[in-house]
Amino acid sequence: MVDFKNIIYTEENDISWIKLNRPEKLNAFTKNMWEEFYETVELAKNSKTGVVVVSGIGRAFSAGDDIQAMYELKNKKEAENFFNTLLKIFGSILEIEKPAIGMVNGLAYGGGFEILLLMDVVIATKESKFALSEAKLGLIPPVALSFGYTILGVKQINRLSLIGEAIDAYEAQRIGLVDCITEKDDLRNKTLEIAWKIISNATHSVQFIKKWSNTYKDKSKFIELVNELTTFSLNINAKKRMEDFVTKRKENEVGIFC
C-alpha cells in the first residue's frame, strides 16, 4: 500500500478504510490533504473491496478546511488551484460504485460535514457534533448548497448554513444526516456490523443501487458554487474574518477549522 502523510489507507476483510490522520489539527484539510484524500478514494474505487469506510483519527472526524491555509491564498490563481482540488475529490466520490460509510468519532464541521452528505450510511457516537460554519468566515459550503438540498432539503441546509451553530448527533439523525448513533467504544463494531450486512447482499444489486443513486446528484450546481467559493475566499471581508479567526484560535491553542 502507498504511504500518505495525512491519510491512512488499508484494505481489511473486503473493506477499504480511509482514515483522516491529522489529529493535532482536528483532521482539518490542507490542499495536500485533499489531494491525498482523492488518491485514497481512487484506490478504494479501483480495489476489489465491497465497502468503503471513511473515519477520523483522534477526537474529530474532520473540522473541515484548514483556515490558515485558506487565509494564505494570495490571488485568483492560487484560489482556483486550491478549490479545483475539491472538484476533483468530490467528483471521485460521486463515481464510486460501492457503498461508502462515514464513521464519525467526534466533530464534523464544514468540509467534514459535507463529506458525510455523500456517504450512503453515517454512523456517529453520542458525543459527535456537526456544523456548517462557513458563513461565519465569509465563505459558503458548496456541497451542502448543491447536493445537500437534494439529500437533506433546502430548509434544513439553509437553517444550518445560515445560523452556523453546531447540532448534536440526535438532531443530525432527526434531519437525516446520521443513520445510527452508538457508544464511542462500540463505534467500530457497529460500523463493521453494518458494513457486513451490505457485503452479504448480492454484489450486482448493491452496485446497481449505488450507481443509480449517483445519477440523482447533479454536479453542475456544485461546479458553479466552487467557482463562486474561489471569489469568496479572496473577498476583503472574508480575509478579515479568517484573520480574526486564525488569531483567536492561535491564542486559545485550538485547532483551526471551518
* pLDDT of amino acid 132: 97
- Give per-residue pLDDT as tens, 83-116: 889 899 999 999 899 999 999 999 999 999 999 9
Q: Give pLDDT, residue 1.
A: 60
**More confident site: 225 or 3:** 225
pLDDT, mean of residues 1-19: 92
The beta strand positions in 126-166, using DSSP E, are 129-131
Q: What is the pLDDT of residues 21-37, one digit of tens each?
A: 999 999 999 999 999 99
In sequence order, the 6+-apart residues with CB closer than 8 A to the CB of 255 are 24, 25, 26, 28, 60, 63, 249
Mean predicted lDDT score pLDDT of the chain: 92
Query: Could you tell me the domains of the chain?
Result: 7-185+202-252 (3.90.226.10)
Query: Does residue 73 contact residue 79 with C-beta atoms inside 8 Å?
Result: yes
**In this predicted structure, what is the pLDDT of residue 250?**
56
pLDDT digits (tens, 9 = 90+) for 173-211: 999 999 999 999 999 999 999 999 999 999 999 999 999
Q: How is residue 126 annotated by DSSP?
A: T
> Is the pTM above the cut of 0.75?
yes
pLDDT per residue over 121-139, tens digit each?
999 999 999 999 999 999 9
Residue 209 has, within 13 A of its CA and on its CB side, a CA count of 11
pLDDT at residue 248 greater than cutoff 80: no
Strand order in the sheet with 7-12: 7-12, 15-20, 51-56, 100-104, 121-125, 180-182
pLDDT tier at 48 (50, 70, 90 boundaries)? very high
Is residue 25 classed as helix, strand or coil in its secondary structure? helix
